[in-house]
Amino acid sequence: MESLAKLLEAALFAASRPLTLEELESLAPSEGNVRAALDEIRQNYQEDHGVELVEIAEGWQFLTRREYAETIERAQFALRPRRLSPAALETLAIIAYRQPVGRLEVDEIRGVDSGAVMDKLVERGLIEVVTRGEGLGRPLLYGTTPPFLEILGLKDLEDLPRLDELSVALRRPTPVDEPE
Amino acid sequence: MTSPILRDPGNSGFVVELEKFSGPLDLLLHLIKEDEVDITDLPIAKIAVQFLSVINELGLNQAADYLEMAARLLRIKAQMLLPRRLGDDEWEDPRAELVRRLLEYQQIRELVEWLGHAADARAERFGRGYEAPPPDAPPAPLQIDLNDLLAAAERVIALMPDPNLHHRVVPRPLDVEGATARILALLAERETFGWRDAVGGGPQATLVDVLSTFIALLELAKRSVLTLSQPEPFGPMVITRGISREAA
């Protein structure tokens, strides 16, 4: 590996969170293609390694391979994070697709009060207030955060399935046929 | 036909959240799937009756979200019964809004499944920097020097009973009233005083005196007549006149 790749490898090894492209670029000497170096590291780790370089949460991170999860967990070297409740996932799904979105709209779509669930998600850092709405009372509007991408293993929001890829595609109201 | 919702199920529990359904829309979707009916052409009368009987059964008929949906279903049912002219272009299907919401919610449920799988897959790969949850903090180390230790040992030795003395007859078990009176008298005189003054009797103080005094102090502290403090580990207690509540 070239020296820039080695430097980035060291930084990614030392960090306990995904490092963004800007963070990695700040380490690199003026010239030097960070993206190419990252690709080199990734290819290097593709085989013959128990960890791999994963693009996640708008950054890069070394993660263990899935096949070792059970053994590592049984030995208690690492623990799976707690699973999110269905209510939390529902709320996250709505916020991810509708952001910035207010509490009222989330309540309306879910058909139940979502205040407590949203408070918990804010506490866990998965959503945050991003702006205020224009409407009555200037309601707080929420959006998802990098940790949201991290716990789902997503590169960015583009990684979420497109709505028209779902089996329940929401059809727009069919236009009434104009009489001839 | 009496609406099931009007019957008192006899339980007065307030349902906040139910494990099985995450809301009235979820329950509706469940009923629609079970009946295998077309979501865009809902048999609203049938679904309304089923909805009411299920929430009654599950004791959900006290949860506002479910009640609101029940009322909505009944209103749509009534609107469907209103006569309409043939070929009326103005007629709007009263179910349209509910159907739109159900489809939207169904889409969310599908996303929930996708997100759940994504989270499970991510949870099987570990990043660096895992730290085991910290064990319970050990007790703070004792800050004490040799002189303190020797002084404490001396006090204990001084309290040890005379080995030649087999038994001492105690005139009365505990004298909390006496101790209380003694402490109150001291408090009237002084703002603050030490434990030894409170016990009184000097080196002749018996275990019973100590106990009586201690109980009296605790009782007075509880009543905010005084406050107790111990400036240093194993040091003597200091009794201070309590700040009266009116003054605070």
Write the DSSP string, B129-175: ---PPPPPPPPPPP---HHHHHHHHHHHHHHSPPTT------SSS--
Instruction: Say how many C-beta atoms besides its own lie within 10 A of residue A35's C-beta.
Output: 10
pLDDT for B134? 55
Sheet of A101-102: strand order equals A101-102, A140-144, A127-132
Tell me how many residue pairs between chain A and chain B have CB atoms under 8 A apart: 120
Angle at the Cα of A84 from the Cα atoms of A79 and A90, rounded to 5 degrees: 160
pLDDT for B9? 43
- pLDDT reading at A174 higher than 50: no
Residues in chain A within 8 Å Cβ distance of B17: 87
Whether A93 and B111 lie within 8 Å, measured CB to CB: yes
- pLDDT reading at B139 higher than 50: yes
Give the pLDDT confidence of A139-168 residue by residue, as tens digits: 999 999 999 999 999 999 999 998 877 776
Q: Which of these, B178, B169, B184, B236, lies nearest to B212 by C-alpha position?
A: B178
Instruction: Say how many C-beta atoms besides its own lie within 10 A of residue B171's C-beta.
Output: 8
Mind giving me the DSSP string for B162-206? PTT------SSS--HHHHHHHHHHHHHH-SEEEHHHHH-SGGG--
Give the pLDDT confidence of B147-199 residue by residue, as tens digits: 888 998 998 888 877 777 777 676 667 788 888 888 888 888 888 888 888 88
Whether B128 and A79 lie within 8 Å, measured CB to CB: no
Smallest CA–CA separation between B26 and chain A, in Å?
9
ipTM given for this complex:
0.87
* Better-scored residue on pLDDT, A19 or B166: A19
Instruction: Report the mean per-residue pLDDT for chain B.
Output: 80
Asked if the bond preceding A100 is cis, omega within 30° of 0, the reply is: yes
Token pair belonging to A155: 């590169």
Whether B129 and A17 lie within 8 Å, measured CB to CB: yes
Residues in chain B within 8 Å Cβ distance of A81: 123
pLDDT for B170? 63
pLDDT band at B229 (very low <50, low <70, confident <90, very high): confident
Nearest CA in chain A to B111: A93
**Torsion over CA: B78, B82, B86, B91 (sign):** negative
Q: Judging by beta carbons within 10 Å of its beta carbon (0-12, 13-18, 19+), is residue B39 exposed, middle or buried?
A: middle
- Tell me the C-alpha distance between B130 and A59, whole Å: 19
- pLDDT reading at B10 higher than 70: no
Minimal Cβ distance to A63: which of B23, B112, B125? B125
**Torsion over CA: A62, A66, A69, A71 (sign):** negative
- pLDDT reading at A52 higher than 90: yes
Give the pLDDT confidence of B80-116 residue by residue, as tens digits: 888 877 666 777 888 899 999 999 999 999 999 999 9
Residues in chain B within 8 Å Cβ distance of A153: 118-119, 121-122, 125
For residues B25 and B102, the answer to whether their CB atoms sit within 8 Å is yes
Smallest CA–CA separation between B211 and chain A, in Å?
50
- N residues, chain B: 248
Residue A166's alpha-carbon distances to A56, B32, B35, B111, in angstroms, are: 23, 19, 23, 8
pLDDT band at A176 (very low <50, low <70, confident <90, very high): very low
Angle at the Cα of A98 from the Cα atoms of A102 and B26, rounded to 5 degrees: 85
The H-or-E segment that residue A50 falls in is none
Q: Which of these, B35, B163, B40, lies nearest to A168 by C-alpha position?
A: B40
Domains delineated in chain B: 4-82+92-120 (no CATH), 170-248 (1.10.10.580)
pLDDT for A105? 92
Residues in chain B within 8 Å Cβ distance of A160: 111, 114
Which residue shows structure tokens 């605790």? B218
Domains delineated in chain A: 3-74 (1.10.10.10), 86-165 (1.10.10.10)
Instruction: Report the mean per-residue pLDDT for chain A.
Output: 87
Chain B interface residues (partner A, CB cutoff 8 A): 17, 22-26, 65, 69, 100-101, 103-112, 114-116, 118-130, 132
Half-sphere exposure of A108 (CA within 13 A, CB side): 11
Residue B157's alpha-carbon distances to B5, B198, B215, in angstroms, are: 78, 21, 23
Mind giving me the DSSP string for B57-105? HTT-TTSHHHHHHHHHHHHHHHHHHS---TT-TT---TTHHHHHHHHHH
Strand partners, B228: B239
Query: Cα torsion for A136, A138, A142, A143, to the nearest 10°?
Result: 110
* Better-scored residue on pLDDT, A170 or B96: B96
Identify the residue among A56, A84, A168 best suited for mutation to test binding to B, counting B beta carbons within 10 A and taking the highest: A168
Residues in chain B within 8 Å Cβ distance of A150: 122
Mind giving me the DSSP string for A117-180? HHHHHHHTTSEEEEEE-SSTT--EEEEE-HHHHHHHT-SSGGGSPPGGGSSS--PPPPPPPPP-
Smallest CA–CA separation between B9 and chain A, in Å?
23
- pLDDT reading at A175 higher than 50: no
Give the pLDDT confidence of A92-141 residue by residue, as tens digits: 999 999 999 999 999 999 988 899 999 999 999 999 999 998 888 899 99
CB-based contacts of A68-76 (< 8 A; 24+ apart in sequence): A69/B123, A69/B124, A69/B125, A69/B126, A72/B126, A76/B132
Residues in chain B within 8 Å Cβ distance of A80: 123-124
Whether A97 and B111 lie within 8 Å, measured CB to CB: yes
pLDDT for B162? 75
Nearest CA in chain A to B28: A111
pLDDT band at B205 (very low <50, low <70, confident <90, very high): confident
Q: Which of these, B201, B152, B212, lies nearest to B179 by C-alpha position?
A: B212
Give the pLDDT confidence of B120-135 residue by residue, as tens digits: 999 999 988 766 555 6
Smallest CA–CA separation between A75 and chain B, in Å?
12
Give the pLDDT confidence of B12-58 residue by residue, as tens digits: 444 444 567 888 898 898 899 888 888 888 899 899 999 998 888 87
Whether B106 and A93 lie within 8 Å, measured CB to CB: no
Smallest CA–CA separation between B140 and chain A, in Å?
28
